[in-house]
Amino acid sequence: MFKIEGHNHDEIAGAIEAARNEKERPSLIIARTHIGKGSPNKQDMASVHGEPLGAKELELTKENLGWPKSPAFYIPEEVKQLCQNRITELRREYETWQFQFNTYIKEDQNLSQLWDTYFKKEIPNDLEPELLKLSRMIH
């Protein structure tokens, strides 16, 4: 079991790495965090979940976190870079999946029809009799 401060990225990475290296037993990571971290008047309050911070509280929160007041929706450069790196890393995996999916759909008429039915949210014409048949089998 690992107890960590859930806002500390180094502790998170270390606990995950230690858990991955544990081969004999399951691992549990307990991360203590604060909802609304940095908000001087709403941190750890239930209201931070469903209510906007409001202009003044947003300003105070940014100040508390050492973030610039503008733009209104600020994304730290570190976060932008992390997201861009993940997009680059996963692009090939995504393209491979898309290729395989499209190949399967073209090659298997039943799968293609099932996908179209699901994707278009169509209800099969024989749904009711099939459900009744299934219901009889269960009872």
Residue 5's beta-bridge partner residues? 32
| pLDDT for the residue 55 | 93
Q: Residue ranges of the domains in the chain?
A: 1-33, 36-74
pLDDT in tens, 16-67: 999 999 999 999 999 999 999 999 999 999 999 889 999 999 999 999 999 9
| pLDDT for the residue 6 | 95
Provide Rg for the chain, Cα atoms.
25
Percent of the chain with pLDDT strictly greater than 90: 75
| pLDDT for the residue 72 | 86
Q: CA-to-CA distance for 29 and 31, rounded, in angstroms? A: 6
| pLDDT for the residue 117 | 85
Beta strands per DSSP E along 10-136:
29-32
| pLDDT for the residue 114 | 87
| pLDDT for the residue 116 | 87
pLDDT in tens, 54-107: 999 999 999 999 999 999 889 999 999 999 999 999 999 999 999 999 999 899
For 15, the 3-state DSSP assignment is helix
**DSSP label of 23:** -
Backbone angles phi, psi at 69, to 5 degrees: -75, -20
Q: CA-to-CA distance for 72 and 34, rounded, in angstroms? A: 22
**Contact 28/1 with Cβ under 8 angstroms?**
yes
139 or 129, which is more confident? Answer: 129
Instruction: Mark 34-46 as b/e (b = at least 16 C-beta within 10 Å).
Output: eebebbeebeeee
pTM to 2 decimals?
0.57
